[in-house]
Structure 1
Amino acid sequence: MTRSFCTTKTSVADIPFKQIIGRPYYDIFPKTDGPLPCCTQALETAEKMEAEVGAGDATYRSRTFSIHDEQGAYLYSVHVLEDITGRKRAEEQAAKEREKFHMLFDAISDAVAIHNMEGRFLQANRSACEHFGYSQEELLQKNVADIDTPEFAAKVAERIKVLYEQGHLVAETAHLRKDGSVIPVELNARVITYDGQPAVLSVARDITERKRAEQELVESRQRAQHYLDIADVMLISLDTQGRVQMVNRKGCEMLGHPEADILGKDWFDNYLPESARNVVRRIFAQIMDGDIVPVEYFENNILTASGAELTVAWHNSLLEDETGKAGGLLSSGEDITARKQAENTIQHANRALATLGAVNRALVRATDESELLQAICNAIVGQRGYRMAWVGYVQHDAEKSVKIMACAGEYAGYLDTMRLTWAETERGMGPSGRAIRSGKPQLCQDMACDPLYLPWRDEALKRGYAASLALPLLGADQAVFGILNVYSGEVKAFVASEVALLEEMADDLAFGVRTLNVRRERDLALEQGQRHFARLHKSMEDTVQAIANMVEMRDPYTAGHQGRVAGLAAAIARQMGLPEDRIHGIHLAGVVHDLGKIQVPAEILSKPGKISSIEHSLIKAHPQAGFDILKDIEFPWPIAQMVLQHHERLDGSGYPQGLKGEQIILEARILNVADVVEAISSHRPYRPGLGVDAALEEITRQCGTHYDAAVVNACLALFREQHYKFQPASF
């Protein structure tokens, strides 16, 4: 039973204290069917007992011990009940929170760990264990330095120092796994309080893929930079403000600046000549504002470190952001300075060539000296770039004056103000006077700055003249008889190649003047020469015909054979489309093709019966004999070769050389067919004529074997389509 009750309350279970004394405690609080087990055990064992007791929603801690007398006899028990409901609930909530924390902790995909300020691991999630390849028990035995590669392990103390000072740290490091492999990670660490002590919470993210991607990006950029640097053109990128964002090696070379000095600089202010700066910047701004589309091809000068200017041909491409708005300009530029200079030289040379051509045409057409001089001046100013031209003749008077003979262009009174002389006076020191005295071209590339041009400067500048060239006209004795002056509206207008061509033009003009007076005599001499040549030509052909007639006089049975062969051969050649001059040569060769028979005895040529092998050999020698007679005569055509080869056959069965195919000249192949057709169709001492049909059948049968197919086809067309008939022999 309850003997006493100590509490801070005035009642327990709504029962006043006075009513509690003497009653069993388990009837009152907490209400149970009997004594609490801890009380019974304390009574039995005489030891202090402790247990938790639930009473409804409340939880109590029960502590019981027994009191005994000096003999050890039990006297009573002391039972203490402590309400621990709040603490118990707090512990349960804390357990749930810990469980939830561990669930979240382990669910994090990054490696998360807690270590003390000495680097000893205190906690690690599942991902950290998988990350390092250790079990949690193994990992908690490690120090931070144990899982870093040697390179980064040496920096652990330094990192912890930074954490002490700043409270957080983000850095890249490399972790060493249990299997020895290395993982690059991004470490995010922060100082926290853990179990009442400062500690470090670190999150390690595996950045292997990022590192690989970064490496690939670096390699890609290196390749791209390599491609940019090996390009033989300047490549630059400008942002919307015109600042240089990228330039390749060629660009640095062209500008004469290192890359570091170029990047970020304003392109227009630093690398364009002042004369082009504002225009190009305005066009760029309009492109960036979307007012105009980029000019795909553009030429302008750039300014180099040395102050020199280069002409660059640009190809431009607009850079756009993700919204399609202009984000800058990418341009490739080719140094075309040399090309432009060459083009300028070519342009000037072409101008001079055109002038030279026009002058030469005028030279050809001119029949009068005054007409020629005026035509020359007109031809010069007719070319773009020449404003005025005049010709003057040297006068050998007391003043050594120059008489204007012709002029063209924009002169408007200028020549009246010149008062030219070739004397060594102030007015004789200009290009004209010097050219007359020296006999060499004299050039003034800038009238405004040339002190020797002072007497005429103001009048020249009024009329837009800027440069002039004085060209001496030389006679046959190389003495200067006149002067040709050419004026341009451009400073430095005359390049070396142009001066050379204009000098040639002046020589042509001088020659034209010299030759005008002898042209009629030259034409007369040419006419007389042509008549003489015609007479010689006629004499040569008459001689050839006379020789042919001599051969036929020795062989009356074949009289007219050579003439008929000549006529047919010429007709075949014409049918084949050969030029008339070549046809004439073939005809002439046909007339004398049997000339070699002059060495064959007449009785063999006219023998009516079968001839012997020796006699046949003598006859077969006639092509060679004819060649030997004709070979030293200089005909305009290969007459001797035609005679030598007219019995050759395509398959090599002919004579005297056994030539084949293309070894036989075409003229001989034509004579070959004409000779066979005429011989078969005509009478011979040993047989009557077989007629044209038999002859055509023969050449058709042997076409491509003995006779050239093109020649045979032309011959057949003559007889079958054009009904060719042999004409009486004539030359």
Structure 2
Amino acid sequence: ELKRLVGFLREINRRRDLASLGQWLLEYAVKLVPGAKAGSFLVLDEERGVFKYRAAVGWDLKELVEIEIPKGQTVQAYLGHQRPAIVKDPVELGKAALPPEVQQKLERFPIAALFTFPIVHEGEVIAYFNLDSPDDPDAFSQKDIELVAPLVEEAAHAVRLEWDRARQKERNAILRLVWDRLADALFITDFEGRILACNAAAERQTGYPREELLRMNIMRDLAAEEPAITYERANERLARGETLVFEELKRRKDGTLYWTECAVVQFEYQGQPATISVNRDITARKRLEEELKHRVAQLELATHAMRMVTSSLRLEDVLKQIVLTLQEGVGADYANITLFDEEGTPMEAFDLLPGPPLPSRMRPRGFTKRILATGEPILVGEIREDGTTEPPVLDEANTPIPANQVLVKTGIRSLAGVPIVLDGDVKGVLYAHSTVPHAFDDQLPLLQLLAEQAAVAIQNAWLYEAAQREIARRKQLAERLQALEGASRRMKLADSKDKLYNVVLDSIHQILGYRACAILEAKEDALEVVAERGYLPEAQRLRIPLSKGKGITAIAFTSGKPVYVPDVAKDPRYVPGIAGAKCELAIPIAHGEKKFGVLNVEHDQVDGIPPKDRDLFQIIASELAVALVSLKQLDEIRTITDKLTGLHRAVQRLQQCTTEEEVLQTAVQVAQHILGFEICSIDLVEGDMLVPKAASGIAVDVA
């Protein structure tokens, strides 16, 4: 037994990897335990949290290595075993413990009985040795546990040692990889700052070879200035186990300066306390931070500028504030802004230049022309006395554009011009000028930001002006509608067509300001002018046939729709009404199915009747039609009233008659007068004859 134990221990100590150790232990155990026909060795993968098969006897290891079992879902974990145990029918238990995909893969390995002993390290199961019986559920017993008990602890100790050795080897490999491959410089120093070791990245970062670095002091020879924290204070914090992080300016071998971010910890090196530091080159980051600070300052300035620029809504004030803000923001000696219309003609400008304002006319080949054409900014670092620039500003033919001589004579030596873009179109140009060369070399982003804000402010000013115009238009419209309401009331009070037409034409002239207008009535097969203002003498009683296709008014009447001709010179249907007419509007006067005629308006400008006025004319025509209907109804009421009055008087006359003859004669006269008949008679029946008794408009004997 002693000889076998010594051999067992010798074999354990010979194995230098977990797979080999596990394979040998399995082979040994299968020979030792009578009921064991197969076995497997599972090891924990800490990174992934799963058990993997590393060795097998009696099973195909190539198939087993494809199976991974989550560490909390093994059969042993399900049963709560951390000691050697015998499990009968583990396949059935696996249905409750194992994930479905693992169960499916393990179906290829039927096991009737399982003899398992876990290996625990630092309170956690790190491996399982399993002995299996494929067909006998009673293959293992307590005797088997007692049989292997003396060997289990030695095997577990060997596995734990190899586990730690493998982990340490892996850590060392990672550390060596980090030391050799890390892009950041690594320094190991003593507490006085002497460099004890460094990696290849330290050589690349400092420019010194390793041999020189190992003779240098990191505080004295590499640091270019005192760090934010003293080395004494740093050592105190390191001694307390803190990780110290700070920024430090260092000097390379060639004398150039660079910034590093240092992360330092204390550790033991070759039996002595030391520090290891990671030194990351952050020169580019520091440069970006400085750039960011500069940009933040510019953004704050731009924010202030936005508040100032948008403090007014009057365009003149906005342009002035833009120029003042630009001058202050980029340190320009002079500045100016110019706005352009759709054709590129200057329409608004403001400048702060010495002497007279810049010419408002653009040069055929100038900086502004180029900006308007390309929508791109220009940055001129230097303007020479002969007008040439550096860099040259090229036109579309790739020819240098000279500076404006007005600028040269003023002493301008550098400038920047940026487009002001609204809705995708260049609407203006913003210029900053300086008497110093290269004054705006790094200011273009801020200038473009100011130009964007200027575009917003200008658009707001334009919107404000448009809103003011709209308010004035609506006010005028309200006043017109109020005046038309009064005219409508006067129309309804008119007791004749002449009065009604005068109210309409006077309203058109006084309220809407149109001097040439007419009302045409439909009479038989033509339209006749019955009332007008401003018409030619020959057109004052104009008659336009409806059937000949001539006359805008005839078209409007027959179609029942308004007709607007913006340029009568282009319409052969036009019939002149006023001298020099350029446009005409004809609106039917109709109420329901009833057509009365046409309201006609002419103007001496092409397209001189705007849509809002055309709408008002339709209102007037509609009100006129209603008034005509009312006037007709009034005439009918008057006629009926006259007839009823006549009838009442006739009754009174009849009551005053004393003879039959007088009654009959009075009756025919009243009937003739009230009903409007030319001939009227009364016949009475006498026997079988009708005998005339009274007549009017004809002799009695004839009646």
Shared fold (TM-score greater than 0.5)?
no
Greater fraction of residues in strand: 2
TM-score range, shorter chain: 0.3 to 0.5
